[in-house]
Amino acid sequence: MVYTSTRDSSVRVSASEAIAKGISADGGLFVPMTIPTINLVDIERLARLDYIGRAKEILRLYLTDFTEDELSMCVEGAYKAEKFSSPAIAPLYKLNDSASILELWRGPTCAFKDMALQLLPYLLTVSAGKTRKDTKIVILVATSGDTGKAALEGFRDVPNTEILVFYPVDGVSPMQKLQMTTQEGANVSVCAIEGNFDDTQSGVKAIFTNREIEEKFKEHHLAFSSANSINWGRLVPQIVYYVSAYCDMVKSEALKLGDPMNVVVPTGNFGNILAAYYAKQMGVPIGKLICASNANNVLTDFLTNGTYDKNRPFYCTTSPSMDILISSNLERLLFLLSGQDAEQTKKWMTELSETGKYTVGEKMQKELRQLFAAGYCDDENTKRTIRKIFDEYHYLCDTHTAVALNVYAAYKTKTGDETPTVIASTANPYKFSASVLKALEDNIRSKDEFSMVEELHELSGAPVPPQLAALKGKTPRFTKVAKKEDMASVVFEMLGI
Ligand X SMILES: *Cc1c(COP(=O)(O)O)cnc(C)c1O
Active-site hit among 21, 94, 113, 205: 113
Please confirm, yes or no, whether 113 is among the known catalytic residues.
Answer: yes
Q: Which residues bind ligand X (CB under 6 A)?
A: 111-113, 146, 229, 266-272, 321-322, 400, 426-427
| Residue 329 CB, nearest approach to ligand X (Å) | 7
126/243 with CB nearer ligand X: 243
| Residue 470 CB, nearest approach to ligand X (Å) | 20
Rounded CA-CA distance 285/257 in Å is 9
197/390 with CB nearer ligand X: 197
List of long-range contacts for 382-386, beta carbons under 8 Å, 24+ apart: 382/294, 382/317, 382/318, 382/319, 382/406, 382/435, 382/439, 383/318, 383/435, 383/438, 383/439, 384/439, 385/409, 386/429, 386/435, 386/436, 386/439, 386/440
Q: How far is CA 111 from CA 33, 147, 427, in A?
A: 30, 8, 4
Inter-residue contact 243 to 46 (CB < 8 Å): yes
Inter-residue contact 51 to 79 (CB < 8 Å): yes
| Residue 443 CB, nearest approach to ligand X (Å) | 27
107/266 with CB nearer ligand X: 266
111/336 with CB nearer ligand X: 111
| Residue 213 CB, nearest approach to ligand X (Å) | 26
71/264 with CB nearer ligand X: 264
| Residue 382 CB, nearest approach to ligand X (Å) | 12
168/217 with CB nearer ligand X: 168
261/423 with CB nearer ligand X: 423
| Residue 269 CB, nearest approach to ligand X (Å) | 3
Rounded CA-CA distance 427/183 in Å is 19
Inter-residue contact 456 to 436 (CB < 8 Å): yes
| Residue 238 CB, nearest approach to ligand X (Å) | 8
| Residue 425 CB, nearest approach to ligand X (Å) | 9
89/254 with CB nearer ligand X: 89
- Write out the chain in H/E/C secondary structure: CCEEECCEEEEEECHHHHHHHCCCCCCCCEEECCCCCCCHHHHHHHHCCCHHHHHHHHHHHHCCCCCHHHHHHHHHHHCCHHHCCCCCCCCEEECCCCEEEEECCCCCCCECHHHHHCCHHHHHHHHHHHHCCCCEEEEEEECCCHHHHHHHHHHCCCCCEEEEEEEECCCCCHHHHHHHHCCCCCCEEEEEEECCHHHHHHHHHHHHCCHHHHHHHHHCCEEEEECCCCCHHHHHHHHHHHHHHHHHHHHCCCCCCCCCEEEEEECCCCHHHHHHHHHHHHCCCEEEEEEEECCCCHHHHHHHHCEEECCCCCCCCCCHHHCCCCCCCHHHHHHHHCCCCHHHHHHHHHHHHHHCEEECCHHHHHHHHHHEEEEECCHHHHHHHHHHHHHHHCCCCCHHHHHHHHHHHHHHHHHCCCCCEEEEECECHHHHHHHHHHHHCCCCCCCCHHHHHHHHHHHHCCCCCHHHHCCCCCCCCCCCEEEHHHHHHHHHHHHCC
72/281 with CB nearer ligand X: 281
| Residue 259 CB, nearest approach to ligand X (Å) | 26
- Residues recognised as catalytic: 113
